[in-house]
Each structure stands twice: as C-alpha cells, then as structure tokens.
Amino acid sequence: MRTIAELGLVLLLATAGAVGTWKIAGPPDRSVPCDPKQISPDEVCLATVKAEWGDVLWIDARSEADWKRDGLEGSIHITTMGQVPFDQQIEANMEAIMKGHKAVVYCNGVKCTVSKETARQLRDFGMLPEVKALHGGYDALNAAGMIKLRGSSPAN
C-alpha cells in the first residue's frame, strides 16, 4: 500500500511541475524553423509566402483522404503518389491552375518529398509562373494556425 501512495505522490508532484512550467514558460513552440538561405531552391518558407507572394494557389500533395479531411481551405489536390495519372489531375484542376497564380505545394512535413516531386512536375508543365514546395509542409501550416478540420465550422 505504501508503494501505491508513493507512486501517487510522485505523479502528483510531476503533474504540478509540468503545469507550473506550462504556466510560466507557456506552451511548447511547435513552429517549423525555416531559413530561406538554408533550404533548397525548389522550396519556400511559409513566412516568405505570407509576406511576399500575395495571392497563392495552394496544392495539397498528400493523400486525397487527408486533403478532404484537413486540407488547407481553398487548396486543390494534385499529387504524384495517387492512383489518378498526373495529367488527369491537372485537367481536373485546370480552372484553378489557369488563374496564373504562384503555387505552393505541401505534403506532410519537412521530410516529405512528394511536394517537391509534385512541384517539379507542375513546373515541367509550365502553366504556372512559379511553383515551390512549402518547407515544413502541413506541419508548418498547422503550427501557424492555418489548418482547420473540415466540418468543424458552421460554414461547412
């Protein structure tokens, strides 16, 4: 019985320490660091997009299920990893592509390469003035508070 009481006391003290640290230091920083000088030329930082790019076509290169669940509002879905051929995806999204905006492609996170491959193929098609992969992808968008689950607001 004494062991259980000691374990309970340890858990109580650990929880109090964690809550105290949270109250003093605040929540952990979940932002995705991005230095434009240290990323590849085919990538772009979210801060750069927000500050300099203006109207952007967001392209979700994750799975279609992920895009439908929590894709960036107003984004389109084009990916190199799907069952649908790339040219058919381009054709299905032609109206958005033909608006001539710069495009930012995102996938899951820093280590995801699907966005870079999708951006490369979109550049090869030559219909957009500039296409880059978002450094940090979905993780960067989510940390910036730009992601909302679909169906979680009255508008959906």
CA separation for the pair 3, 11 (Å, rounded)? 12
- Structural tokens at position 61: 């290169």
Q: Using one digit for the tens of pLDDT, what is the confidence trace for 57-95? A: 999 999 999 999 999 999 999 999 888 999 999 999 999
Report how far apart, in Å, the C-alpha atoms of 65 and of each of 54, 74, 98, 139 are: 28, 16, 25, 17
Do residues 100 and 87 make contact, with C-beta atoms less than 8 angstroms apart? Answer: no
The per-residue pLDDT for 154 is 40
The per-residue pLDDT for 155 is 40
Do residues 115 and 105 make contact, with C-beta atoms less than 8 angstroms apart? Answer: yes
Q: Is the pLDDT of residue 98 over 60?
A: yes
Helix, strand, coil percentages, rounded to 5, for the chain: 45, 10, 45
Q: Using one digit for the tens of pLDDT, what is the confidence trace for 60-69? A: 999 999 999 9
Q: Using one digit for the tens of pLDDT, what is the confidence trace for 107-127? A: 998 888 999 999 999 999 888
